[in-house]
Amino acid sequence: MKRLAPGTLPVFAVLAILLVALAFAGPAYEHPQGYIALLKRAAPLMILALGQYFVIVTGGFDLSVGSLVTAEVVIAARLLDGNEDRTWPVLLLLIGFGALVGLVNGLISTVLEVPSFITTLGMLLILEGAVFLWTDGAPRGALTESFRQWGRMGFEDVPWIGQLPYSVLILLALGTAAALFMRTGMGRLVLAVGDNDTSVRLAGGRVRTIRTLAFVVSGISAAVAAILLGGFSGVSAQVGGGLEFEAITAVVLGGVALGGGRGSVVAAMAGALTLKALFSLLNLLGISGALESTVQGVIIVAAVAYAAADTGWRDRVLRSKARSTAQPGPPAPDVVTTS
Amino acid sequence: MTVVTLSKRRSGEDPGTPVVRLTGIRKSFQGNEVVHGVDLELQPGEVHALVGENGAGKSTLMKCLAGIHAPDQGTIEIDGVVRRFRSPREAQEAGVAIVHQEFTLLPHRTVAENLFLGREPGRFGRVDKAGMERRAGEVLADLGVTSIRPSAVVSGLSVAQQQIVEIAKALVLDARVLAMDEPTAALADAEVALLYDLVRRLTGRGLAVLYVSHRLPEVFDLSSRITVMKDGAHVATEPTGELTTDNVVRLMVGRPLNALFPDLAAAEELGKERIAVAGGGNARIHDIDLTIRAGEVVGLAGLQGSGRSALARALCGVAPFTRGSYQVEGRPARIRSPRRAVRAGIAFVTEDRKGEGLALRQTVQDNVLLVRRSVSGRRTRSTVADLLREMTVVAASPASEVRLLSGGNQQKVVLAKWLAVGPTVLVVDEPTRGIDIGAKATIYQLIRDLARSGVAVLLISSELPELIGMSDRLLVMHRGRIAGELPPQSSEEDVMRLATGHGQPGENGQSEEAES
Amino acid sequence: MTALDASTATAVPRRKLQMPGSTATVYLALGLTLVVGSLLVAERGGTLLDQPGITKILTLCTALGLVAIGQTIAIVAGSLDLSVAHLIGLTSLVTAEVMAGQNGRIVLAVAAALGVAALVGAVNGLVVTKLKVNPFIATLGMALVLQGVLEHRYTGPAGETTRDFQRLGYDRVGPVPVSFLVMLGVAALAWWLLARTRTGHHIYAVGGDAEIARVSGVRVSRTVITAHVLCALAAGATGIFLASRLGAGAPYVGTDASYDLQSIAAVVLGGALLAGGRGGVIGTIGGVMLLACLDTTFDDLGVDPFLKDVVRGSVIIVAVALYARRKPGGRT
């Protein structure tokens, strides 16, 4: 992009400061390996933020991704049950399930016109209940090594950085694809849907389809995040807990407007990385566990407040400029030039 | 507190003191002066019309009076006392009531709750609901309105009733002057009569009314004096009886209006039928027979609520026909959605530019490409730069956000987005609303050029001079039906006669009396 | 909507009134659930609405009801509060710790809990109005802040409420728990506040359209802050009630029951618009009772507890889909 999308500058600035601060705070970050490890930890959340970005930028919310991640991991464990040769079919099935959940979310929100906050809240409850109903209350079975490698392994002995995790490669691939997509005409149309869906509908655009697809992307990204998280930290009933809020926070931190129509996907992912870098820094500073969430909460609110003040100010300036141009100058309003 | 007290206040006054006197009002935005020392006086009991082209400074002047803008220079006197308003609230308390163009009612709340919003009666924070509804009833009865119950929910009212509630809300505080900005913009013809009644009743009590409108027939019907503004300056104030529509237009525009319009189509320029509707209808419109040929501009006239926009929306698949046949390029077409319409080559410039036409926070370029991206397969060779040049859009760059452009440039962007897919039919609803005269001329020329290139154009406008000046033929709608067809250059009287559904001729037509 | 609307509905014959309003719908659904539930339970040889059954339903209603009343006020004002679940945990601890097993400290404990709640609500309101942070993020941030406090200070239940105080949680009149009556009292108060006071009218106005409210002379910030304080006070009351039930304060008593999302669900189920400006306490209580009846029926039927979540989720979606269908003149 030639220029940064409006409102994205703060997140990159904060991220840069945090990354520098990390180097001073902990010996782990004296080498590139430390940052690669951070990226590896952050990859699932960044991928979730990618999916959430598409939903938010078209004007919705996806609260179901956290329980979807849990559901995916639990399903994987039960279906795999330690059987190596089932790994690939199960991986495909997980992606398909994520897409299906997204499709249902999208269709209910667009066709039945249920606000997506409610749709995905209902889906959150349904997924939570259904998965444990199916597994009789606790995760059962086990993941296979070839399943877990995606979240924990990588190409070893890469010069300078040591291990290059698969998850980071997957993240880069998905992030690049999303960033490139947002530069295409279709991507710009996605933004326009969030800005003014009527204008897109009257232009002949398929607003419902686009919105539904945004939920599908979110579902698939939750599936991918689940695969990485399951590999990284194993099976548990809490693996996805609260991730929906973290993902939404990350996206908003990236300067994406709730309500849609504004923000960049790269910034949304940077927002996720910022969150993770923040956690790491807090850990290094010894504010582990206990007050971590407090500091996190304060910083998130402060960041968003800062962004609100910033855009508010910028909007006021731009609006008064626009007003002055909207009022035609006294003598010759019909002067028209080409830029 | 309510309007009941108006007459009392007035009775003790010297009738010579104007209710409002504006002297030498100047106002600049960002160093660009848009009102240049304007004087204006409102006498008790008069309806004073304020007319002028868009951008003439009427709204700015009105907003100075309403306390929304603070004038840079000049004084505002109410009943002979100089006032400086720091907020709309202060102006209200001084007796200035404003009815804005947009509605300011809460749809889910009752009439009484809306009337007294922010000043609910009662003690210790408790709202005296019964008392509030009783007083709302009094305020409405005082305006001569008995058809609106104070306990009715606003969303259940007709647009005209909402407009009356809007006026009542402005008058809950003791008002000396009522300023109305295009109060009939949203009203159907029968409803306009109600509003007239109300205005006359108020002036009968000594209230001064400042009536800002683009609709000259209304202005002539209602006002006792007319003030014309042009380019931010006061041009003339004359008693209505001493002016004619032509005078006023000339004063407003500074040149004869028809100089703006390109030549009409010659007979040999008309091509085949692009669209043909027979017996078309839906809930809002009935028995529509309509053909538009390549190369012609068909004007569609009618009062608000007559079904003009409903017909446009049916043609463009937004609220489709449910009856009749619809042919595009000689073949039956099922235009059931905007998408189908766009694919069939029909472009729709809606009257609500910001609400329906543009994604305001996206760039000029993204808006120009909106249709092309929405409907793959339809495209022209022109690049965004070509289109913007053709449309003479003035923008810092194609990457600037559309919301920062002026109204005229925004409208050109709307047109450009349709040109990008090379439509064969163009439906334009109020294409020049709220834009300055230079941009208007550009848009007129553009519409005509499109017709010349073989596009069939349906033009809808509330401004009759514009419609008559642009159209190769005129269709007039009344109550959801096409009431008749008129040849090019018909008179405004002919159009109005058909539009009001009966044969009362005359510029100052007594349409509202004939109606009742 | 609330009775506010019911009264206007009778006064004004509106054309679109053949369909029952959303408040009526939720009570219809409640009745239907009770009938079907009773039949199903009877078939298995039990009774849904025997004394323990009624007591159980009403006790379930009490906690969720209290927090949902507050949530209604926040949502009607066009905001929402995601920090209530953590606040409930915190106020239960404040109550139990201040009380410390002494009857003489009951009033002090309740006052302290409500004071903490009001403070949290005020901060939420200030962040939303003065710092212009989206309420979703603002209250989520507050939830995190409170979570940190809870994690930092507590590892498990703490403090002690007195036997006498616990009677608030357990005493009943016939099958009806006293606490349920208290909750109804709070609901009545909240209804009166929304329908009959200036503050209430302003809350609806601000939620309906903040700009219109502003030009009409309503102090928007103050109204939103008030709504947040009231919402937090209701959550505080929930924390106090739960402390009385449990005999102690528990840090995760609010989050384990996910009162944040559950209360929002109940409010929406009661017919409120999530966007604000429309909704009411009476509908919300209907939503709360519906959820409680479903829960109890399933328990009596011996249905897997996880199925309850599934049904609950589906009911919420279906209800809102039904409300969306009848939105008058809704744009597509």
Please give the single-letter amino acid code of residue B24.
Answer: G
- Between CA C224 and CA B302 the distance in angstroms is 45
Cα–Cα distances in Å, from A326 out to A301, B56, B395, B397, C331? 36, 12, 12, 17, 30
CB atoms within 10 A of CB B435: 25
Q: With beta carbons less than 8 A apart as the criterion, state whether B454 and B273 touch.
A: no
Query: What is the percent of chain C where pLDDT is above 90?
Result: 51
pLDDT greater than 80 at residue A204: yes
- Between CA B345 and CA A204 the distance in angstroms is 11
* Predicted confidence (pLDDT) per residue in C23-67, tens digit: 888 898 899 988 988 898 888 888 878 888 888 889 889 999 999
H or E stretch covering A215: helix A207-233
- Between CA B176 and CA B167 the distance in angstroms is 13
The DSSP symbol for B264 reads P
Question: Quick check: helix, strand or coil at residue B476?
Answer: strand
| Listed range (A220-224, A320-324, B107-111, C131-135) with the worst mean pLDDT | A320-324
H or E stretch covering A241: none
Mean per-residue pLDDT, A179-204:
93
Residue of B370, B390, B409, B444 to mutate, testing the A interface (most A Cβ within 10 Å of its Cβ)? B370
Q: Where are the alpha helices (DSSP H) in B17-146?
A: 58-65, 88-93, 111-115, 129-142
Mean per-residue pLDDT, A22-31:
83
Ranked by mean pLDDT, which of A1-10, B78-87, B322-331, C10-19 comes out on top? Answer: B322-331
pLDDT greater than 60 at residue B14: no
CA angle B315, B317, B322 (to 5 degrees): 80
Contact C148 A290 (CB under 8 A): yes
**Nearest by CB to B343, which of A204, A262, A336?**
A204
Q: Is B261 left (phi over 0), alpha (psi -120 to 50) or beta?
A: beta
- Dihedral sign for Cα B91, B93, B99, B105, please: positive
pLDDT greater than 50 at residue A333: no
> What is the model's pLDDT at position A256?
87
Question: What is the pTM (predicted TM-score) of this model?
Answer: 0.83
Residue of higher predicted confidence among B507 and C231: C231
Q: With beta carbons less than 8 A apart as the criterion, state whether A298 and C138 touch.
A: no
Where do we find the tokens 């009439």?
Answer: B111
- Dihedral sign for Cα C230, C236, C242, C244, please: negative
Q: With beta carbons less than 8 A apart as the criterion, state whether B359 and A192 touch.
A: yes
Structure tokens at B423: 């439509």
- Dihedral sign for Cα B247, B253, B255, B258, please: negative
**Which chains does B contact via 3+ CB–CB distances below 8 A?**
A, C
Q: What is the maximal distance between C-alpha atoms in chain A?
A: 82
- Between CA B159 and CA B157 the distance in angstroms is 6
Structure tokens at A264: 């960049």
Identify the band that residue B189 occupies on the pLDDT scale cut at 50, 70 and 90. Answer: low
> What is the model's pLDDT at position C221?
93
- Between CA A49 and CA A261 the distance in angstroms is 16
- Between CA B137 and CA B131 the distance in angstroms is 10
- Between CA B515 and CA B303 the distance in angstroms is 14
Mean pLDDT, chain C, rounded, equals: 86
Mean per-residue pLDDT, A140-145:
86
Mean per-residue pLDDT, C55-80:
94
C-chain residues near B89 (CB < 8 A): 217
Number of H helices, E strands in chain A: 13, 2
Q: Which CATH architecture has domain C49-325?
A: Orthogonal Bundle (1.10)
Identify the band that residue C68 occupies on the pLDDT scale cut at 50, 70 and 90. Answer: very high
Query: Which of B 16-55 lie inside 8 A of A, CB atoms?
Result: 29-34, 36, 55
Contact A3 B399 (CB under 8 A): yes
> What is the model's pLDDT at position A324?
37
| Structural domains present in chain B | 14-107+169-252 (3.40.50.300), 273-503 (3.40.50.300)
> What is the model's pLDDT at position B457?
96
A-chain residues near C140 (CB < 8 A): 245, 248-249, 297, 300
Contact A334 B436 (CB under 8 A): yes
Identify the band that residue B513 occupies on the pLDDT scale cut at 50, 70 and 90. Answer: very low
Q: With beta carbons less than 8 A apart as the criterion, state whether A27 and A285 touch.
A: no
Cα–Cα distances in Å, from A112 out to A208, A236, A240, C317? 11, 34, 28, 9
* Predicted confidence (pLDDT) per residue in A287-324, tens digit: 766 677 888 788 778 877 877 776 655 555 554 444 33
Contact C134 A258 (CB under 8 A): yes
* Predicted confidence (pLDDT) per residue in A221-256, tens digit: 999 999 999 988 888 888 888 899 889 989 988 888
Mean per-residue pLDDT, C149-157:
88
Q: Are strands B20-29 and B32-42 parallel, antiparallel or unpaired?
A: antiparallel
Q: With beta carbons less than 8 A apart as the criterion, state whether A164 and A35 touch.
A: no
CB-based burial label for B484 (10 Å; 0-12, 13-18, 19+): middle
Identify the band that residue C17 occupies on the pLDDT scale cut at 50, 70 and 90. Answer: very low
- Between CA A304 and CA A11 the distance in angstroms is 10
Identify the band that residue B170 occupies on the pLDDT scale cut at 50, 70 and 90. Answer: confident
* Predicted confidence (pLDDT) per residue in C196-246, tens digit: 999 999 999 999 988 888 877 788 999 999 999 999 999 999 999 999 999
* Predicted confidence (pLDDT) per residue in B390-449, tens digit: 887 776 678 888 888 877 888 999 999 999 998 999 999 988 877 766 778 889 999 999
Please give the single-letter amino acid code of residue A336.
Answer: V
Annotated domain spans of chain C: 49-325
Angle in degrees, 0-180, between the axes of helices A243-253 and A265-284, rounded to the nearest 10: 110
Please give the single-letter amino acid code of residue C298.
Answer: F
Q: Which residues of C118-131 are buried (b: 16+ CB within 10 A; e: fewer)?
A: bebbebbbbbbbee
CA angle A8, A10, A14 (to 5 degrees): 125
